[in-house]
Structure 1
């Protein structure tokens, strides 16, 4: 592919079809399920006791996906600005370094998605509670500060915690709250393993990028504890997620139907084994993909289990 110059006036692309493909890749679609799954689970929990407002569900789903996509675009923009991305970089959208999209265009697209998410948030608040406006703004701020600002969260050991809490755990609670008007103990307990799995997506990313991040002065968790320990931590946290569901079932907190999540175990095993002995980023892409797929499949199966327990 011919290299393009990164000028602020550079067009997106001449070919419309290619244009859309570049924009789609810019959202990093393999990560978008991290925005979809928590909304689905929060709604599945809410249906146990309430009629579901379909418009609120759709608004929450779109807002969550837009924030996730915008966060990925901020990542693309600021990593390029800091000189972290090049044409050989693995796991990026590549709109700037490969396709010649103007950096400011990427930033404006991210801000535009935030603008649409804000409008959806206003509707959600009108139909539920204006206290959600504060929480929503905090979530959006974290999405920006993850790679933006003078002290990006992604360069610290706390990236996994922030991602898991704000893009996993908290989204489930918000999705539950807008349908029910409250946050239950059950919703918090069920949200914990999803928060873990969303955080593990970040951990897998940091394991893959460990060498490059270290060269650029980052202090991610994977760098601090080392690659071998980071892979071990990945496997342990996968295990805790599944054991958590056994615990919820054993205490009759949830229906045994949620144990359908165990059908996703092969993906978790593949993700963990896929990192062992690997040091080249491209070799670790299947393992990183399997980590994201574990979250997706686990979340869908959990939702199915919750829906079945409601109808039976």
Structure 2
């Protein structure tokens, strides 16, 4: 049986900024529209965190039973390392999905029905990323999913449930957060190219190769900061998002320097912290501008 510490490590806490960041930016955009509602923001955060941990456990389960995690470099895999049974990890994943769904239903009851559709799509997307007979994460579509669900859906949904309307700054923030979240996945898959090729896992990094993956990572990070500057057209305070630029530059420098394997692990942490710090700055800027 896995220890509590192993369950926590298996939840991959370093990925949690990808859940917190879109809620921060979405809430900042709602505040810009004078629509901030604190308890709805907390509910949205609960949904995002539950889904993030759930998808981490789901990926652990699905990759583990396929044998693609047996020689993986990086955080502990519960099933791949045989410290927890596949059934236990699958149960943990669906428990998290259930918590996220319950909190999401509360939000839907206070807003509009289309959020129910978005939530259901998020749950389906979370499971079939690596689950099912033909997981789309094995078909080079992982980055698209991350952009849609951890960028557009999470940010715009958070804004709408609070302000009940949207603004172009929310869209810009959603694209920016989606871009950084994609960059995080690109770095992860860049690190795993050798083992993914051996096991037949066709991630985007495997398809386009290491060199183009490095270029894609740098481009996604650059896009996020360009959008922060664009948001300054609405309020100069949006430039607070640039506080994450030094941290992002360090991660980009490592990626484009042809780092491989374990040398890319700090990039994952750096990209996650970049996303969180960027979100704090942009959210604060939008709120102050409002």
Question: What TM-score do the two structures reach when normalised by structure 2?
Answer: 0.94
Partner of 1:286: 266
Q: Select which of 22, 27, 35 maps to 2:11.
A: 27
For 2:5 and 2:278, the matched residues in 1 are separated by 28
**DSSP 3-state at the match of 2:166:** coil
Specify whether residues 52 and 304 from structure 1 end up closer, same or farther in structure 2 by C-alpha distance, changes over 3 A only: closer
Conserved in 2, the CA contact under 8 Å of 1:273 and 1:287? no
**DSSP 3-state at the match of 1:239:** helix
For 1:217 and 1:47, the matched residues in 2 are separated by 46
**Gapped regions of structure 2 (runs ≥ 5):** none
Conserved in 1, the CA contact under 8 Å of 2:20 and 2:45? yes
Q: Does 1:209 align with 2:192?
A: yes
Conserved in 1, the CA contact under 8 Å of 2:65 and 2:80? no
Partner of 2:29: 45
Q: Deviations 1:109-130 (Å, cap 9, x if unpaired)? A: 1101111111111111111112
Conserved in 2, the CA contact under 8 Å of 1:31 and 1:292? yes
For 2:8 and 2:145, the matched residues in 1 are separated by 25
Indicate the structure with greater helix content. Answer: 2
For 2:168 and 2:268, the matched residues in 1 are separated by 32
**Gapped regions of structure 1 (runs ≥ 5):** 1-10, 13-18
1:61-140 matches, within 5 Å, as 61-86=45-70, 88-98=71-81, 100-140=83-123
Partner of 1:15: none
For 2:208 and 2:11, the matched residues in 1 are separated by 30
Structure whose alpha-carbon radius of gyration is higher:
1
Segment of structure 1 superposing worse, 223-232 or 131-140: 223-232
Note the C-alpha offset of 1:96: 2.9
Partner of 2:155: 172
Note the C-alpha offset of 1:54: 2.2
Aligned length: 289
**Cα RMSD (Å) of the superposition?**
1.6
Partner of 1:5: none
For 2:130 and 2:83, the matched residues in 1 are separated by 21
For 1:54 and 1:260, the matched residues in 2 are separated by 22
